[in-house]
Amino acid sequence: METKKLTTASGIPYTSHVNENSMTAGPRGPVLIQDFILHEKMAHFNRERIPERVVHAKGSGAYGTFTVTNDITAYTKAKVFDTIGKQTRIFMRFSLVAGEKGSADTERDPHGFAIKFYTEDGNLDIVGNNTPVFFLKDPKKFSDFIHTQKRDPYTNCKNPTMTWDFFSLNPETLHQVLIVMSDRGTPYGHRHMHGFGSHTYSFINANNERVWVKYHFLTMQGIKNFNNEEAQQMRGENPDFAQQDLISAIDRGDFPKWKFKIQVMTESEAKTYHINPFDLTKAWPHQDFPLIDVGTLELNENADNYFAHVEQSAFAPARIVNGIGFSPDKMLQGRILSYPDAQRYRLGANYEQIPVNRCPFMVNNYERDGQMRVDGNQGGAPNYAPNSFDNIITDSSYGEPALPLDNSVADWYDRNAEGENDHYSQPGNLFRLMDEQAKERLIHNIVTAMSGITGPKREEIINRQICHWFRADMNLGMAVAKGLNVDVSHKIS
């Protein structure tokens, strides 16, 4: 094996003696400030932890391939889907939503499901969860919600009271809360759960015709979940269970796979459909909008360094390619802004130069400078446009058709106004679809979680949340009330 010299980050070699000992004034004297090796080692060590993600902090990831298996060019001109059999390199990251960097993988939580496609038209990011819906429909409530999932500012502990206080005061959360309280809130690792883009996006075809779409990624390993007690036990036995399970499977050649499918809704259908197709707390019923095959995702390559690839990976729903567009989904609109902004704060303005985030194809722009610029800063090329010196041009074929907007007055509209306030039908339908054993586990998990509510507002919060369960399904409400020893005989309205 070729020997290599030990050097500083600037390439200056130094001896083992210098590496092992600080420079001091005599054998027992104080350390001298001129020991720059000590400064470099300690200063770099102090900065080894970049700020963790505010959400999705605990995660696992791997590289793989996406293979097109079905022709969807009638819906989109995106090159990533243009030929059956075409393969595109991908990177996927799985995560906890509310968990911190050191959280256990089996905490009850939605689980992040993010994919980066390295396409010839630029990187395409699909950022979602293992649930088809979310807690909220308006981004203004996102920071409030996440605060309730983090630590109490007084005790610095997780606080079920503030969690359920928020849920009970925001009934739009009910659909997602029911899913998270079900078996799906504690998946058996990352390989055995479905993924969803959750948001509504648009596809645009070669004729500039637009349809609305939702993304689905169905595990080919089969759904497998922990029950509440198994998940709690695993938190103590192996808090990194999902990470270890994923990396071990890929190392042994048992490559995880997901079927990529879409739902499609036309613009005319969206105008008359009985639910708001852009409401993130609602799912599109499959009987009305059946799943359409797109392709297969396979993870077949572990990152050779966790920090370089998984920790520094950065996803944003703002990263779309020609043939894919946005929608009036309010949460999506908010995340278009907030996700890239969060990555610039966490990783720096030039985070897309980091190898895991870098587009492997041509990138040309007039962005310059900023912290950690590592690509030569484009040398002496012009940093403005238009200019008379370079040959960078725009391509009008990459445009998309105009999006018609309602002739509405700009205002702060109530997100839960009449017609937008049915928070109970879909959660109730989902509960009634469960078998008896799944219902029992769901009720047990809800009762266990709500039993953590404490303080002078305990009865008020519990009663308010029980009312939501009743509105979703009478049997569900009765079972939760019974589990919490709440007499509802005189409270049902």
Closest CA to 354 of 373, 376, 378, 379: 373
Mean pLDDT of 376-405: 86
pLDDT digits (tens, 9 = 90+) for 302-331: 999 999 999 999 999 999 999 999 999 999
Q: What is the pLDDT of residues 52-74, one digit of tens each?
A: 898 999 999 999 999 999 999 99
- How confident is residue 493, by pLDDT bands cut at 50, 70 and 90? very low
| 3-state DSSP of the chain | CCCCCCECCCCCECCHHHHHCCCECCCCCCECCCCHHHHHHHHHHHCCCCCCCCCCCCEEEEEEEEEECCCCCCCCCCHHHCCCCCEEEEEEEEEECCCCCCCCCCCCCCEEEEEEEEECCEEEEEEEECCCCCCCCCHHHHHHHHHHHCECCCCCCECHHHHHHHHHHCHHHHHHHHHHHCHHHCECCCCCCCEECCCCEEEECCCCCEEEEEEEEEECCCCCECCHHHHHHHHHHCCCHHHHHHHHHHHCCCCCEEEEEEEEEEHHHHHHCCCCCCCCCCCCCCCCCCCEEEEEEEEEEECCCHHHHHHCCCCCCCCCCCCEECCCCHHHHHHHHHHHHHHHHHHCCCHHHCCCCCCCCCCCCCCCCCCCCCCHHHCCCCCCCCCCCCCCCCCHHHCCCCCCCCCCCCCCCCCCCCCCCCCCHHHHHHHHHCCHHHHHHHHHHHHHHHCCCCCCCHHHHHHHHHHHHHHHCHHHHHHHHHHCCCCCCCCCC
pLDDT over 90, % of the chain: 73
Checking if the pLDDT of 104 tops 80, the result is yes
Chain centroid to CA 226:
21
Report the share of the chain in percent with pLDDT over 70: 99
Tell me the pLDDT band of 491, cut-offs 50, 70 and 90: low
Q: How far apart are CA 426 and CA 476, in angstroms?
A: 14
Render pLDDT for 331-361 as a digit per residue (tens, 0 to 9): 999 998 889 999 999 998 889 999 999 999 8
The residues that are catalytic are 56, 129
Lowest mean pLDDT among 186-200, 359-373, 438-452: 359-373
Domain edges within the chain = 1-48, 59-359, 425-483
* pLDDT tens-digit map of 2-54: 888 778 777 777 777 777 787 788 777 787 778 877 877 777 777 877 888 98
Mean pLDDT of the chain: 92
* pLDDT confidence of residue 9: 74
Q: What's the pLDDT at 8? A: 75
Whole-number pLDDT of residue 212: 97
* Nearest residue to 184 (alpha-carbon basis) of 424, 447, 445: 445
Structure tokens at 444: 């047990």
Q: What is the mean pLDDT of residues 100-104?
A: 93
**What is the sign, positive or negative, of the torsion defined by CA atoms of 142, 145, 149, 155?**
positive
Would you say the CATH fold of 59-359 matches that of 1-48? no
Q: How confident is the model at residue 239 (pLDDT cuts 50, 70, 90)?
A: very high
Better-scored residue on pLDDT, 173 or 382:
173
Task: Read off the pLDDT of each residue in 176-203 and give the average, rounded to a whole number.
Answer: 97
Of 1.20.5.510, 3.30.460.10, 4.10.91.20, 3.40.50.2000, the CATH number of 1-48 is: 4.10.91.20
Write down the pLDDT at residue 21.
81
- Classify domain 59-359 at the CATH class level: mainly beta
Tell me the pTM: 0.92
Taking only the tens place, the pLDDT of each residue in 114-153 is: 999 999 999 999 999 999 999 999 998 999 999 999 999 9
As a whole number of angstroms, the distance between CA 172 and CA 392 comes to 47
The string of pLDDT tens digits covering residues 150-168 is 999 999 999 999 999 999 9
Which one is predicted more confidently, 398 or 273?
273
Please give the Cα distance from 300 to 255 (Å, whole number). 5
